[in-house]
Amino acid sequence: MLDAALQPLQRRALTPVARFMVARGVSADSATLTGFALGVMALIFIVNEAYLAALAFILLNRLFDGLDGAIARLTRPTDRGAFLDIALDFFFYATVPLGFAVADPAANALPAAVVITAFVGTGSSFLAFAVIAAQRGLPASAFTGKGIHYLSGLTEGTETIAFFVAICLFPGYFGAIAIGFALACLITTFTRWIQGMQTFRDSGSAS
């Protein structure tokens, strides 16, 4: 919901850092992989209930997620880079609630399962729309810089980061926060289903 408003600010803030990294030979793919490794470290800290340390690594993961795109725009975006960015992002998102489930299965396993299921809904509807939109030649959304058609919704990247911050700062309320965020994700999923059915309602085939 907030991504479109914040993306221009993020680009302006990260472009100087990206220029510095490009000048030192850092590639977009290496930034993507570094960010993913930092995200895996966050999972390890969550499992060991070191939530503030985990939050630091989550934020570093998100920083590198922005930097890889900024570096790509300054050099040469590639399909491999776009694939890595999206695939690793969606996997990372699921590891955060998984970590809470492992840290305290009795309290957190069920809400973690609910929010991961909600992630599947938002992720699959987002990617399915992007694939068919690309096959039909619909233009990619200009503000994302990701090279795919970005279908917006109530819960996007910004809201997901806010969710991660909240559960790391208040781990004792993980269940309530996770269920609330999962409901917001389900609203996003339903609205994307409706938008997809409306956009692709004619008899055209993507096959």
Render pLDDT for 54-84 as a digit per residue (tens, 0 to 9).
999 999 999 999 898 889 888 888 889 889 9
- What pLDDT is recorded for position 2? 56
- What pLDDT is recorded for position 203? 53
Q: Tokens 């992007």 — which residue?
A: 130
What class has domain 3-199? mainly alpha
- Please write the tens of the pLDDT for every residue from 123-158: 999 888 888 887 887 766 543 455 566 667 777 878
Lowest mean pLDDT among 8-17, 19-28, 49-58: 8-17
Question: What pTM does this model have?
Answer: 0.84
